[in-house]
Structure 1
Amino acid sequence: MPDTDDTAAACERTARDVLGLAELRPGQLTAMTALAEGRDALVVMPTGGGKSAIYQVPALLLEGPTLVVSPLLALQRDQVEALRERDEDAVRLDAGTAAGRRAAAFDSLRAGRTEFLFCAPEQLANPDVLAELAAARPSLMVVDEAHCVSAWGHDFRPDYLRLGAAAEALGRPVIAALTATAAPPVRAEIAERLGLREPLEVVQGFDRPNIRLEVRRMLDDPADELVAAVAAERGPGIVYTAVRRQTTRLSGLLAERGVRAAAYHAGMRRAERDEVHGRFMDGGLDVVVATSAFGMGIDKPDVRFVHHAQTPGSPDAYYQEIGRAGRDGEPAAAVLFYRPEDLGLQRFFTGGAPDEETLARVAEAVAGCRPGTTRKELGERTGLSARRLTKLLDLLERAGSVRLGARRIDPVPGAPDPREAAGIARELAERRRDVERTRLEMMRRYAETDDCRRRFLLGYFGEELAEPCGNCDTCRAGTAERREAAPGPFPLHARVEHRSWGAGQVIQRAEDRLTVLFEEAGYRELQLDAVLAEDLLKELPS
């Protein structure tokens, strides 16, 4: 076993001499040291907090190349350029890479001349790419935006579901999973899906005290008040809306007020989206009015506000989106224009589960497959899109009907009958939907609380804030109070068990109530008197 102090010292030297980092931020050295010693790490750190250094330093200390998986092509380009400026050999592969350049990149990787290879997750679905990478024997696999692997996550991407199997196919290198925002259930699912082995978990910096939090309760369409608020703001900003048509409507209303505004949503052509993104980053636009499609990779430090025209589906999504404001540390604002009726729209988005007939059809197709059938072959057989098929296969794998590899799909010996597997998978999907709705309920509670809003959000992510923040509307109104650790049973972070909802953890605790995140039932608020009177909970050993 390597000496941890020696490894930490080597990481500090490399960070200083190669990356020019005279001082490391909290959590960086701990994560670097773990990775350099061959231990998996799950790192939750805000954008701009130094996540790239966390993998680049151990990559230079480990034998073998480093694979970086990221969904953001622009960020891949930026990181490759930054590495090359330091004379590190780095390459990037995407669907448009010419065959000759691709072959040269793999030759260089195998020969040890290239240290870093960047690719999107869908590249690892290509058996030829996976075989070439396996031949290079990578020592470190970095999964950026790791929350995309979690169906709890706000940016869930089915391509990420294959990454755990891909890591095994690559010889199981050390894995670094990186993300900016992940609540406890998201972190747990990241570790499970990627197959992390006793990972070091580093969670840093959920609090963004420079962002002023505010909720404006609306009885009618908030458009007029929102447009007036945005027109009065100084500096660039983002307005999020839940539906595409509102991006065009609100950006048009802002333009009428003299604001340089543009719409952005997933239904636009890639070239149009890239143009809006580029103009905003370069200062050619004041405001982008967008759906959640305007998300990862928006690292513009001087965004002064992020406002929401409708309530997002979870605190996870909300905190990720408002976290795009004030990254320069200067004052910024996040205003939620809240109408209770808008919660119905989010319930619609989370509603529904795949029908049993479709699940049974896929399960029957899998049962009739020869071992090693590819996803493409199964897609042709079932007539389903790759995205939908991936989601259904994930459910069927959890139901014990199929074993998914990075390259192949195998039926499971002794698997449940296709109809039975479909029923189990449907039940799993319904349970997931019900949990999603408890997260929406947490968003409603955020909007309606008279306590410190920052304390509410930080509590959701597992952090405590005793003093009111002083920078939210409830604090300014004087309704938020200092909160001492509540005495009595079921303290914060205690492991508990409910007789109906199973095991969970206390994530918020007040004198008269507690909020528990149950593994199977999601977020539930319980009145302490009822818990004690009816003996609803028992505390588990930690």
Structure 2
Amino acid sequence: MTTDPLHILKTVYGYDAFRGRQAEIVDHVIAGNNAFVLMPTGGGKSLCYQIPALCRPGMGLVVSPLIALMADQVAALRQAGVRAAALNSDLPPEERRDLWRAIGEGTLDLLYAAPETLLRSGIIDRLRNIPLSLIAIDEAHCLSQWGHDFRPHYRQLDALVDLFPDTPRMALTATADAPTRGEIVAHLQIGNDDSFIAGFDRPNIRYAVEEKDNPRRQLMRFLQNHENESGIVYCLSKRKTEETAAWLQDQGYNALAYHGGMDKAAREVNQTRFQREEAVVMVATIAFGMGIDKPDVRFVAHIDLPGSIEAYYQETGRAGRDGLPSEALMLYGADDIALRRRFIDESDAPDTRKRMEQQKLDALLGLTETAQCRRQVLLNYFGDACSPCGNCDTCANPPERFDGTVAAQKVLSCIYRTGERFGQAYVIAVLLGDEDERIARFGHDRISTFGIGKEHDQRTWRSILRQLIAHGFIHVDLAGHGGLSIAEAGRRFLREKPVLMLRTPPPAAKGRKGRAARGGVPVSLDQTDSALFNALRDKRIEIAREQNLPPYVIFHDKTLIEMARTRPANRADMAGISGIGEAKLDRYGEAFLAVIAGHQPDAG
């Protein structure tokens, strides 16, 4: 095989040019240097280690966290003509022997292994006798104890520095703030001059955040714009995951559940169906994580507040890996905020870790409550920047703000005068002066805050309370049935009385005006091209089922869309389409050319 990276890019992967900083990274590693690579999901991180591994002598070793993820990556590489394999505990003895034989004979280009497998003494000893072209550690944020997805076995990978001192090391991730990046490069002894920060922006994803009103109704409005598309709905609890999946099935969606409490075989069946079928909605806890290599996920919805901006960015990053338009929706409410704070307070983590988790939660709440461009706030957290994006809810409909100083004083005073033990519904009822038997029984119809909040309706007061909880002014005692009390920050606010600007809640949504259901076509195509796209997709599904592979391993949607628009008439035309290398052209070219020939516009 040639050692020219651009030639490999074209003949193996079917692309004419590198994107962004890919060429710079590839050349840097081919020259024998280490590299830390931070690149957004879908930005082409895998090519940054796969191509140098094919150019340099020896076998590339790739550390990856999950068997399912490795299986997908190996299948895609084999389709492209690359000799790749995965070493894991599920391999039958005969396949394991064959794999070690191929490794010893030098007939393997890339070997994938999980850290738990790699670090076993017998495995690492055998690999020390194998010429390695490079060692690539994917999802490297798992190495950092400050990261949102810390894994102890990843931390032990710093042993590779001494075990393979002359082999180029690569650490790659899409999600790492400055402290996490610093810890990764320090542990793997990758120099600052070897760091490549390619940015965090995913411009194809539209971000939206809504306060919880009626979560199921809000989710249904969102899903109406995603008929016949694959997506993920994240829930906080196992029970809610199962209930939401069952409810979506009742609404006619092909919905599956996935959480850590399920039987392993059932989880694997559902994950395989998500990867290999079209238009599947996976309802999951965060247990459904890094093994998601499906490029045509068109939406990610959080119907509960995620744990941090890093987690949110990682989870929403599973949408639109192919670069086509996708959407992310997050719903949040006061109970979510209180529950997340309770998780932190009740954890066994040391105080330094708790403080850090609280700071991360505060940053996420800042994203939910911002009146700025969501993308600007998101990127700023990671030290990146952009102009107002025009592709988020606050850009499309800038929220109004109002001076909430007096409103906040009224709420806090009411909580204080009712004894700091009642929930938000009760406090709002007192502010509105409701005729209520409980209020009368407790004598709260005679306190100074009874009826002083009639300038706002119940919905606005709920929004104000959520924002004050987000600001840390109010503590919610979830263990005590949601009773509200004044936090230290709230007492300081009452003493100092600074101006407090709050978001005006948007009008209650009566129906979402969005793009019409697109029948599973991820971009706008005319009627004839759309019919051809669907026919090409049917052929892709047929071929994938014959080989027991996910359809996107054959061709991405982006490649099928280009076929539908340009209608190649022969092999030479087909070779010019992005994403079709020589192996795939030989394997599938004739089958897809036949579909196109049968759908020419003049053919009726």
Scaled by the length of structure 1, what TM-score is found? Answer: 0.68
Tell me which residue corresponds to 2:286: 292
Which deviates the most, 121-130 or 65-74? Answer: 65-74
State the alpha-carbon separation in 2 of the partners of residues 88 and 54 from structure 1: 15
Q: Structure 1's 251 and 78: CA in aligned 2 closer, same or farther, altered over 3 A?
A: closer
Alignment check: 8 A CA contact 1:134 1:171 kept: no
2:219 matches 1:226: yes
Q: Classify the secondary structure of the residue corresponding to 2:300.
A: strand
2:194 matches 1:200: yes
Tell me which residue corresponds to 2:452: none
Tell me which residue corresponds to 1:323: 317
Which deviates the most, 80-89 or 242-251? Answer: 80-89
State the alpha-carbon separation in 1 of the partners of residues 217 and 12 from structure 2: 52
Question: Which of the numbers 443, 446, 469 marks the counterpart of 2:389?
Answer: 469
Larger relative strand fraction: 1
Question: Which of the numbers 49, 70, 73 marks the counterpart of 1:76?
Answer: 70
Question: Which of the numbers 120, 141, 146 marks the counterpart of 1:126?
Answer: 120
State the alpha-carbon separation in 2 of the partners of residues 140 and 332 from structure 1: 34
2:363 matches 1:442: yes
State the alpha-carbon separation in 2 of the partners of residues 244 and 118 from structure 1: 31
Spell out, residue by residue over 1:473-528, the C-alpha distance to the aligned partner (whole angstroms, 9 max, x if none). Answer: 222223599xxxxxxxxxxxxxxxxxxxxxxxxxxxxxxxxxxxxxxxxxxxxxxx
Letter in 2 for 1:281: Q
Shift of 1:168: 2.1
Spell out, residue by residue over 1:102-159, the C-alpha distance to the aligned partner (whole angstroms, 9 max, x if none). Answer: 3453344344333322111101231111100112142411111112112232332221
Tell me which residue corresponds to 1:91: 85
Letter in 2 for 1:471: N
Spell out, residue by residue over 1:398-419, the C-alpha distance to the aligned partner (whole angstroms, 9 max, x if none). Answer: xxxxxxxxxxxxxxxxxxxxxx
Q: Structure 1's 113 and 299: CA in aligned 2 closer, same or farther, altered over 3 A?
A: closer
Q: Structure 1's 87 and 329: CA in aligned 2 closer, same or farther, altered over 3 A?
A: closer
Matches within 5 A, 1:43-442: 43-85=37-79, 88-99=82-93, 101-171=95-165, 173-198=167-192, 200-218=194-212, 222-230=215-223, 233-234=226-227, 235-283=229-277, 286-351=280-345, 354=348, 429-442=350-363
Higher Rg: 2
Alignment check: 8 A CA contact 1:137 1:170 kept: no
Alignment check: 8 A CA contact 2:72 2:293 kept: no
Q: What's the C-alpha RMSD, in Å, of the aligned pairs?
A: 2.6
Spell out, residue by residue over 1:255-275, the C-alpha distance to the aligned partner (whole angstroms, 9 max, x if none). Answer: 222222121111112221122
Shift of 1:431: 1.0
Letter in 1 for 2:301: H
Letter in 2 for 1:445: G
State the alpha-carbon separation in 2 of the partners of residues 317 and 154 from structure 1: 6
Q: Structure 1's 102 and 314: CA in aligned 2 closer, same or farther, altered over 3 A?
A: same
State the alpha-carbon separation in 1 of the partners of residues 364 and 389 from structure 2: 19
Q: Structure 1's 327 and 56: CA in aligned 2 closer, same or farther, altered over 3 A?
A: closer
Q: Structure 1's 197 and 134: CA in aligned 2 closer, same or farther, altered over 3 A?
A: farther
Alignment check: 8 A CA contact 1:452 1:474 kept: yes
Structure 2 spans left out of the alignment, 5+ residues: 402-604
State the alpha-carbon separation in 2 of the partners of residues 147 and 127 from structure 1: 24
The count of corresponding residues between Structure 1 and Structure 2 is 398
Q: Classify the secondary structure of the residue corresponding to 1:216.
A: strand
State the alpha-carbon separation in 2 of the partners of residues 279 and 103 from structure 1: 30
Q: Structure 1's 100 and 332: CA in aligned 2 closer, same or farther, altered over 3 A?
A: closer
Shift of 1:293: 1.3
State the alpha-carbon separation in 2 of the partners of residues 296 and 347 from structure 1: 25
Q: Classify the secondary structure of the residue corresponding to 1:135.
A: coil
Letter in 2 for 1:465: C
Tell me which residue corresponds to 1:499: none
Spell out, residue by residue over 1:273-321, the C-alpha distance to the aligned partner (whole angstroms, 9 max, x if none). Answer: 1222222233355321111111223233333321111111111111111
Spell out, residue by residue over 1:50-94, the C-alpha distance to the aligned partner (whole angstroms, 9 max, x if none). Answer: 222211222233333221111232332333344445554433211
Letter in 1 for 2:393: D
Alignment check: 8 A CA contact 2:69 2:290 kept: no
Alignment check: 8 A CA contact 2:69 2:292 kept: no
2:451 matches 1:458: no
Spell out, residue by residue over 1:8-59, the C-alpha distance to the aligned partner (whole angstroms, 9 max, x if none). Answer: x943344345544421111111111111122111112233322222112222
Alignment check: 8 A CA contact 1:46 1:180 kept: yes
Larger relative helix fraction: 2
Q: Which structure has more RCO (C-alpha within 8 Å, separation ≥ 6)?
A: 2
Alignment check: 8 A CA contact 1:181 1:320 kept: yes
Alignment check: 8 A CA contact 1:93 1:119 kept: yes
Alignment check: 8 A CA contact 1:302 1:326 kept: yes
State the alpha-carbon separation in 2 of the partners of residues 348 and 55 from structure 1: 41
State the alpha-carbon separation in 2 of the partners of residues 24 and 315 from structure 1: 29
Shift of 1:433: 2.2
State the alpha-carbon separation in 2 of the partners of residues 57 and 232 from structure 1: 38
Alignment check: 8 A CA contact 1:47 1:299 kept: no
Tell me which residue corresponds to 1:412: none
Letter in 2 for 1:461: F
Structure 1 spans left out of the alignment, 5+ residues: 1-8, 355-425, 482-542
Q: Calculate percent identity across the aligned residue pairs.
A: 41
Alignment check: 8 A CA contact 1:133 1:170 kept: no
State the alpha-carbon separation in 2 of the partners of residues 158 and 340 from structure 1: 33
Tell me which residue corresponds to 2:474: none
Letter in 2 for 1:477: N
Tell me which residue corresponds to 1:525: none
Q: Classify the secondary structure of the residue corresponding to 2:272.
A: helix
Spell out, residue by residue over 1:201-235, the C-alpha distance to the aligned partner (whole angstroms, 9 max, x if none). Answer: 2222522223222221126x634433454356423
Q: Classify the secondary structure of the residue corresponding to 1:196.
A: coil
Letter in 2 for 1:470: G
Which deviates the most, 315-324 or 276-285? Answer: 276-285
Letter in 2 for 1:79: Q
Q: Structure 1's 63 and 291: CA in aligned 2 closer, same or farther, altered over 3 A?
A: same
Alignment check: 8 A CA contact 1:353 1:430 kept: no
Which deviates the most, 257-266 or 222-231? Answer: 222-231
State the alpha-carbon separation in 2 of the partners of residues 33 and 227 from structure 1: 48
